[in-house]
Structure 1
Amino acid sequence: MDHLVGTQSPVLRLTDPVEAIAALESAVPLLSSLRLPSRRDINWVALETDLGTGLPADYKLLCELYPPFVLSDFLGCGGPVPGLEDAWLQGTREDLEIVTEWCAESGLAVPLHPYPAPGGLLPWAGSNQGDFFLWTTSPAGPQEWTVTVASRSSAWWHYTGGAVQFLADLVSGALEPWALPRLRPEVAAW
């Protein structure tokens, strides 16, 4: 049976995408070396239309500024690539099938549901151990979405900040990595 470990919150939620990116670059200094020479032109309108929802601005900026990357040889963060947006959508749909199974089998006291259910979970990153990093969607809009971690070890937990701030806080040690390994500030292009 799975269990909900708890909820962690940032000291101050970063709502400005540029500030969230700066926090991640501060936590992972070598990330700046991967920054692309110019912002990628991802077709967000087509992606979001197909997905049926907008996506958080911090994630979109991260995907425009950086190629897919791996943190600490563990957490892979890869977003859509210009011209290959359909491949990202297909991968997201496949991940959602797994998340649907995990939610159904979790046995959590407060059931979680996959997107597109109201407040449903939508994957945005994963680990090489099979952990999922998910947005907990909100009718208040993508800028209000928070993070839920579904660990392969059956522990689920929440973080009340955005995805990019989550990455920064996870690497910097500002939050406990419940059921995950401690991440080092190492990064490699994927």
Structure 2
Amino acid sequence: MWVQRVIELTAREPLGISVDWAAIEGELGVPLPADYKELYEAFGGGVFSDSVYFLGRDDGLTFDFLTQWRAALSTDQDSKFGKVSAVDPYATYAPGGKGLVEWGSTEWADEYCWLIDAERPGEYPVLARAHDVGPWHRYDMSTSEFLYRVLADADFQPFGIAQYDLGTTFKPGSRGGE
């Protein structure tokens, strides 16, 4: 339902991208949210409304969530940085554990993540924070509902961008569609 709303909001035809989700989920050690996979298959990675970055699975490119996750995990686990995490008070998700995986962001440095707990597969609350310094806000809703509210609901504060009248466009990062 929410994925369809995002598609209608952007007036785009779904791309129908094929992805080896089993390999990706095998590396993560948990299944990804079904609606996220549906969003990615429809859009690919790219930018909504010229400001909301949606990470997908584009090997080695800017909009690849797996590349971003690997880099964040490597940094989180690097002992020269001590116990400090870029997603404090959380940690970056490591297979078999509990932590954050980023799936989106904005040009204003807002971050959108899932809180993944390997012991609770199928639960994917969205954690978001504004400008890298604010507190984390928890949303017990799907990825696609959160994205829709960011794009279309001016009252969805502090993350709604509809009041800025940026339009509801989508520009693919690397997998065609334009």
TM-score band, normalised by the shorter chain? Answer: 0.7 to 0.9
Aligned to 2:129: 150
Q: Tell me how large the CA RMSD over aligned residues is.
A: 2.7
Paired with 1:97 and 1:123, the residues of 2 have a C-alpha distance of 14
Across the two proteins, how many residue pairs are aligned to each other? 157
Whether 2:60 is the aligned partner of 1:78: answer: no
Whether 2:93 is the aligned partner of 1:115: answer: yes
Whether 2:149 is the aligned partner of 1:169: answer: yes
Q: Return closer, same or farther for 1:181/1:88 CA change in 2, 3 Å cut-off.
A: closer
1:166 is paired with a residue whose SS is helix
Q: With structure 2 as the length reference, what TM-score do the two structures score?
A: 0.73
What letter corresponds to residue 103 of structure 1 in structure 2? V
| 5+ long unaligned stretches in structure 1 | 1-18, 105-110
Paired with 2:156 and 2:46, the residues of 1 have a C-alpha distance of 22
Query: Where in structure 2 are the equivalents of 1:91-110 lying within 5 Å?
Result: 91-96=68-73, 101-104=85-88
Paired with 2:72 and 2:155, the residues of 1 have a C-alpha distance of 25
Identity of matched residues, %: 22
Aligned to 2:113: 134
Q: Return closer, same or farther for 1:70/1:42 CA change in 2, 3 Å cut-off.
A: same
Whether 2:2 is the aligned partner of 1:23: answer: no
Higher relative contact order (CA 8 A, sep 6+): 1
Deviation string, structure 1 residues 14-44 (Cα, Å, up to 9, x no partner): xxxxx12112234x243x24x21xx222111
| 5+ long unaligned stretches in structure 2 | 77-83, 174-178
**1:96–1:122 CA contact under 8 A, matched in 2:** no
CA-CA distance at 1:74 after TM superposition:
1.1
**Aligned partner of 2:28 among 48, 51, 54:** 51
Q: With structure 1 as the length reference, what TM-score do the two structures score?
A: 0.69
